[in-house]
């Protein structure tokens, strides 16, 4: 029985270690999902969703394994209860045997008293008839010998009875000790079983929360608008005596078709916060390179680059803007300025939606 209980404890410990490990992995993956939710690109969010689905599968496998372990624990508890019933039956049988032995000892004591009384009467009679016959004297000697033998036998029986009683007391104490130990183990198993049920409930709760989060993320990805564009000049351009609206004619990316490669304007399709960035290039030789960004006709940025070595110079910057539906953003080249580009996309204009409002 002790070997069975030891095996049960080891199994429960292994189950607890695995659940804790699963719990720690789930916490780590949840933190990764939380961090990934802040990443602006939808590809990273999709990757996190796949990891969450895998994690849900692992949790379901762990839940099935925990249920099997709980069923095994219940089976072992039933087996222990059967063994306890057998021990109780043996204890009752032992107590009955002790009662019978005590009755036999009482009967033997009564017989001994009777024999002693008879011996006293016999000795008295023998004294009276001793002078009458030698034959009766011989018979009396024989009777005395038999009586002494009976006394010795009775003493041996009494000693044996004491030993037997001691053994019965020892056996009863051992049975009580084992019964107490079994009851202690049963209580311990009940406590562990209750702890496992509580842990299983917590796992179910976390699993439900994770599934809800996955559903919400899928809904957010499905419903969230997607706006992004990137365009290039593809050829040198120079402004005359007035500012020139820059039209980046080569469309590299245009999700939601919010950028026009005909007018050079980006028109916000939804209310939200957008990020815009540009990079322009020119071969400067004691010249200045200018670039401006406008929102709804109002200047947002005006940057300048100056160089004298005649080598290629780049000018880059970016800005985050809150736009309403229909707001427009575009780039302008100040009067007298020029930019360079070719098929390698040196001068580009890009933007994308960060989040809606």
What are the pLDDT digits (tens) for 146-170? 878 888 888 888 888 888 888 888 8
Q: Give the distance, in angstroms, between the CA of residue 189 and the centroid of all CA atoms in the same chain.
A: 21
Q: How far apart are CA 151 and CA 111, in angstroms?
A: 11
Q: Mutual orientation of helices 134-223 and 2-36 as an angle, nearest 10°?
A: 10
pLDDT at residue 8 in the model = 55
Give residue 68's pLDDT: 86
Backbone region of residue 250 per phi and psi (left: phi > 0; alpha: psi in -120 to 50; beta: other values): beta
Residue 186: exposure state from Cβ atoms within 10 A (0-12, 13-18, ≥19): middle
Q: Quick one: pLDDT band at residue 39, thresholds 50, 70, 90? A: low
Structure confidence at residue 310 as a pLDDT band (50, 70, 90): low
Residues of each domain in the chain carrying CATH 2.60.120.40 = 228-356
pLDDT tens track for 173-199? 887 888 888 888 888 989 888 899 898
Pair 274, 227: CB distance under 8 Å: yes
Where on the phi/psi map is residue 257: left (φ > 0), alpha (ψ -120 to 50), or beta? left
In CATH, the architecture of 228-356 is Sandwich (2.60)
CB 287 within 8 A of CB 239: no
Given 3.40.50.300, 1.10.1750.10, 3.20.20.410, 1.10.287.950, which CATH number is that of 2-223?
1.10.287.950
Q: Where in the chain is the domain with CATH 1.10.287.950?
A: 2-223
In angstroms, the CA 45 to CA 34 distance is: 10
Check pLDDT > 80 for residue 225: yes
The whole-angstrom separation of Cα 281 and Cα 346 is 6
Q: How confident is the model at residue 33 (pLDDT cuts 50, 70, 90)?
A: low
pTM > 0.85: yes or no = no
């Amino acid at each position: 029985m002790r070997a069975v209980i030891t095996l049960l404890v080891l199994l429960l410990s292994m189950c607890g270690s695995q659940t804790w490990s699963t719990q720690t992995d789930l916490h780590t993956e949840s933190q990764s999902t939380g961090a990934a939710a802040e990443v602006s690109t939808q590809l990273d969010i999709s990757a996190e969703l796949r990891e969450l689905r895998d994690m849900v599968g692992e949790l379901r496998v762990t839940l099935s394994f925990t249920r099997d372990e709980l069923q095994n624990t219940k089976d072992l508890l039933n087996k222990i209860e059967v063994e306890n019933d057998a021990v109780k039956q043996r204890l009752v049988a032992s107590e009955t045997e002790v009662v019978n032995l005590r009755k036999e000892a009482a009967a033997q004591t009564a017989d001994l008293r009777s024999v002693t009384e008879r011996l006293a009467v016999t000795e008295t009679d023998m004294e009276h008839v001793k002078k009458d016959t030698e034959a009766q004297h011989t018979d009396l000697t024989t009777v005395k010998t038999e009586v002494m033998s009976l006394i010795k036998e009775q003493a041996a029986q009494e000693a044996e009875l004491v030993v037997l009683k001691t053994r019965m007391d020892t056996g009863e104490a051992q049975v009580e000790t084992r019964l107490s130990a079994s009851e202690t183990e049963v209580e311990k198993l009940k406590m562990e079983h209750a702890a496992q049920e509580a842990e299983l409930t917590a796992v179910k709760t976390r699993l439900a929360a994770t599934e809800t989060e996955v559903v919400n993320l899928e809904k957010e990805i499905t419903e969230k608008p997607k706006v992004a564009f990137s365009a290039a000049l593809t050829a040198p351009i120079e402004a005359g005596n007035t500012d020139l609206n820059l039209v980046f004619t080569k469309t590299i990316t245009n999700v939601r078709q919010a950028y026009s490669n005909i007018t050079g304007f980006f028109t916000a399709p939804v209310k939200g916060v957008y990020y815009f960035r540009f990079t322009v290039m020119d071969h400067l030789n004691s010249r200045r390179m200018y670039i401006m960004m406008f929102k709804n006709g109002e200047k947002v940025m005006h940057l300048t680059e100056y160089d004298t070595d005649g080598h290629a110079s780049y000018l880059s910057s970016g800005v985050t803007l809150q736009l309403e539906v229909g707001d427009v953003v575009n780039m302008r080249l100040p009067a007298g300025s020029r930019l360079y580009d070719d098929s390698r996309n040196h001068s580009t204009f890009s933007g994308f939606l960060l989040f809606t409002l």
